[in-house]
Structure 1
Amino acid sequence: MAGGWSKDGAVQDQIDASLDEAVERARQHLVSGESARDCVECGLAIPEARRKAIPGVQLCIKCQAELEVGGEQTAGINRRGSKGSQLR
C-alpha cells in the first residue's frame, strides 16, 4: 500500500531499478574472448586450468586478488531523498 504522493508498488520499482543498475555494472566488468597465456600485469604464465575456467582471463591469480582487494566501492543511490529536500 502506498501512501502520500507515491503510487502503489513504488518501493518495489525502486528496488528493481537499483538491482537492474547493479547487474548492468557487473556485466560491464565481464571479459570475454581469448584468454591471455601470460598475465598482462606481471608477465607470469597463467595456468591452463584458469584459462579454460574463465574465458577472457587476462590476470594471474595473484594480480586478480590484488585488483579485487582495492576494488571499486559503489555507493547506493538514495532515490527517495530526504523530506527536507522535497519541501524546498
Structure 2
Amino acid sequence: MERLSDIVDMAQAHIEQETALRIERIRRNAKPGVGRAHCIDCGQPIPAARRASVPGASRCVTCQSLIETF
C-alpha cells in the first residue's frame, strides 16, 4: 500500500505538469506582438520582460492575477 506522502507527491507532480502545459498553451495562443506598454485596467507600465515573455499582454501581472482568480 502506498504511503500518503507518495500519493501527495504524485498529486503535486501532476499539478505542476498541468500548470506547465496550460502556460505553454496560453503562450502559443497569445496574440503576436509586444503587447501594450501600459495595463488596460490600472494604467501602470507593463515591464518589457513581461511583454517579451507574454506576447500581446495587455494587463500587468497584478491585474491579470486578479482576473484569473475569479
TM-score range, shorter chain: 0.5 to 0.7
4+ aligned runs moved over 3 Å, structure 1: none
Cα distance in 2, alignment partners of residues 33 and 67 from structure 1: 21
Please list every run of 5 or more consecutive structure 2 residues that lacks an aligned counterpart in the other structure. 1-24
Mapping of residues 1-88 of structure 1, within 5 Å: 30-34=29-33, 35-70=35-70
CA RMSD of aligned residues (A): 1.7
The count of corresponding residues between Structure 1 and Structure 2 is 43
Cα distance in 2, alignment partners of residues 60 and 53 from structure 1: 12
Higher helix proportion (structure 1 or 2):
2
- The TM-score, its normalising length taken from structure 2, stands at 0.55
- The TM-score, its normalising length taken from structure 1, stands at 0.44
The structure with higher relative contact order (CA 8 Å, sep 6+) is 2
- Write out per-residue CA displacement over residues 10-56 of structure 1, whole angstroms, 9 at most, x where no aligned residue: xxxxxxxxxxxxxxxx77xx440330000001100000000000100
Cα distance in 2, alignment partners of residues 37 and 66 from structure 1: 19
- For the pair shown, the structure with the greater C-alpha radius of gyration is 1
Q: Percent identity?
A: 33
